[in-house]
């Protein structure tokens, strides 16, 4: 009888350890699959209307403000003075389109529906305050 109980106990232990082993393998596999499929970047493009952008001095002020934003790469900002628009390509995992608009507004320029910061607008060079 004791021998029969020992066999059952050993069988249960090996079954339990096999279940733990399978659970660990499934967990590791899901981590590996999940780690490979996670997004690293999500690049998007936004066009911002900036009606007060007139010249290079305005572009310099806006570019300086946008330079503080994470998610923007060099040469990802294009200024179109005649159309008074800025096209920005950004990583949406690091910043949002509204953040970009607020940075432009913080530089002293209205950006889409976001009004310009009045103090920053007053501090702009004279050629930007027409």
| Mean pLDDT per 10-residue section of the chain, whose length is 130 residues | 52 60 66 63 92 93 89 84 95 91 95 94 86
Nearest alpha-carbon partner for 73 in 61, 60, 89: 89
CA distance 50 to 101: 10
Q: What pLDDT score does 128 carry? A: 82
* Res 55: pLDDT: 93
Cα–Cα dist 106/110, whole Å: 9
pLDDT value of residue 82? 95
In CATH terms, the fold of domain 43-128 is Alpha-Beta Plaits (3.30.70)
The confidence score (pLDDT) of residue 67 equals 86
Instruction: Give the residue extent of every domain in the chain.
Output: 1-38, 43-128
pTM of the model: 0.69
């Amino acid at each position: 009888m004791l021998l029969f109980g020992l066999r059952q106990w050993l069988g249960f232990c090996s079954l339990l350890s096999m279940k733990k082993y399978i659970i660990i393998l499934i967990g590791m596999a899901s981590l590996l699959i999940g780690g490979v499929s996670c997004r690293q970047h999500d690049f998007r493009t936004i066009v911002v209307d900036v009606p007060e952008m007139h010249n290079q001095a305005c572009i310099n002020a806006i570019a300086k403000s946008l330079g503080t934003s994470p998610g923007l790469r060099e040469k990802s900002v294009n200024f179109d003075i005649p159309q008074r628009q800025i096209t920005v390509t950004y990583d949406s995992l690091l910043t949002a389109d509204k953040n970009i608009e607020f940075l432009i507004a913080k530089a002293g320029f209205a950006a889409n529906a976001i009004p310009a910061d009045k103090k920053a607008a007053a501090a702009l060079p004279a050629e930007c305050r027409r």
